[in-house]
A and B are shown apart, each in its own frame.
Chain A
């Protein structure tokens, strides 16, 4: 119990300090661009009403979920394929390197041409940006399956779907999760950016609207909300990862101690 309290104190100390500094430093600020934190917080309740949450925040999160899920499915699926077959790898490697080097926001104007400015465009942009870390990490993970383990599986006739489910995917899981984690931050960034350039709702859209109409405290409150959402998503992700990879963390700890 005391350990949990202590960890909580450690985790909260720095954010609390930074918030206090902001609060004190911005107290009585006359700059319209950097209003006092107290002002920002006081508008928060009024700005982020249930109505606004369903109208702007929910669509953003749905698009993120859609794009991210698509990227995960495509990235893991193709990654397993490319990681398993040498010929596929040789064929696709140069192309992959090229696409990976293209910064995802550049895709927005291109994708707009094909998919318009609706949800399809945004989901596509998010998926197109998220897929690379997942894909490349999956390829790495699949390639690194232990030789002895693979041979054991083969000697017991574990092939096909069974091999994929019981050997390849679990063995690559730590790498796949590393890719999923990178993709999550990319996804959040693209969610916002895609809404900034062309949208009629969403978090990014709302923040830009506030900025254009000089509703500066409201704009800041949107940024704070974005940060909070990113933080919560990352907490959820870590919890899922810790559960799914419990064996991996245990294995590493046991190697470290012995």
Chain B
């Protein structure tokens, strides 16, 4: 489904070159939920932008369903970390969710509205459809961004540390929301985070990135039960084992992970 092959990204210019990504290769199967975890500054955002077609890699390639990604594609949607800067403040929630759909010319008005209503309902924001984003709390704003991505009906959903800036309780709720939506809709999700616990709790698989220069350090299958629960799963002995494994891998790569925000 999603193939990342030999991806390398060097930021150039002004005499100072930064090798953000050295050599990344991994694959996502259709319908998989994969978490990518790595310390801050290791190039997670860079990787996601390359995958989304927002940034041209220096070498290597990204394939979606076998065809190279050279620019943004209708089959992919991105949820950024900075929710307050990724929603259009001059549009109400409903219009924010609808805007990308207007680009899909094949969608009629009615279908568009149905998709918007459906997405808002899925994230529990039907009642806030008429509000402006800045009238909502951080967690709600990020749910608007998720609804916007859902309505777009992507095959692959890319999420870049989407919950790093919300408080712990809201965050737990949002994590469960992502699991729920993934199970209901069967899309492929690549979830980027610097939080090991979050990666282990959410993913079917966890890819660990090394610190810069970045390569895939480790790949781990998460053997927790399919149904996850914030209290039970995290108390599970296997959860502790898995997170210890990931932690050790990150440390082995030479750098400590950033403290959880």
Contacts and interface: CB of A to CB of B under 8 A. Distances in A.
A247 B135 CA distance: 10
B85 A156 contact: no
A154 to B, nearest CB: 6
B191 interface: no
B228 to A, nearest CB: 29
Contact of A157 (B72, B90, B134, B135): B72
Interface string B89-115: 111000000011011000000000000
A72 B24 CA distance: 51
B88 A154 contact: no
B239 interface: no
Interface residues of A, number: 22
A128 B9 CA distance: 48
Contacts of A166: 88, 91, 99
Contacts of A77: none
Given A152-B86, A162-B103, A247 B74 contact: no
B82 interface: yes
Given A247-B132, A254-B134, A167 B103 contact: no
A158 B90 contact: no
Nearest to B99: A166
A155 B52 contact: yes
A151 interface: yes
Interface string A153-178: 01111100010001100110100000
B77 interface: yes
A166 B90 CA distance: 9
Given A157-B100, A166-B99, A248 B86 contact: no
A80 B150 CA distance: 32
Nearest to A146: B85
A171 B90 CA distance: 8
A151 B88 CA distance: 12
- Residue from the set A146, A151, A250, A254 with the largest chain B CB neighbour count within 10 Å: A151
17 contacts: A148-B82, A148-B86, A151-B54, A151-B86, A155-B76, A156-B77, A156-B148, A156-B152, A157-B72, A166-B88, A166-B91, A166-B99, A167-B88, A173-B90, A247-B90, A250-B134, A251-B132
Given A157-B72, A158-B100, A254-B135, 6 more contacts: A156-B152, A157-B74, A157-B100, A247-B132, A250-B132, A250-B135
8 nearest A-B pairs in the assembled complex, by CB-CB distance = A156-B100, A148-B85, A247-B90, A170-B90, A152-B86, A254-B134, A157-B103, A251-B134
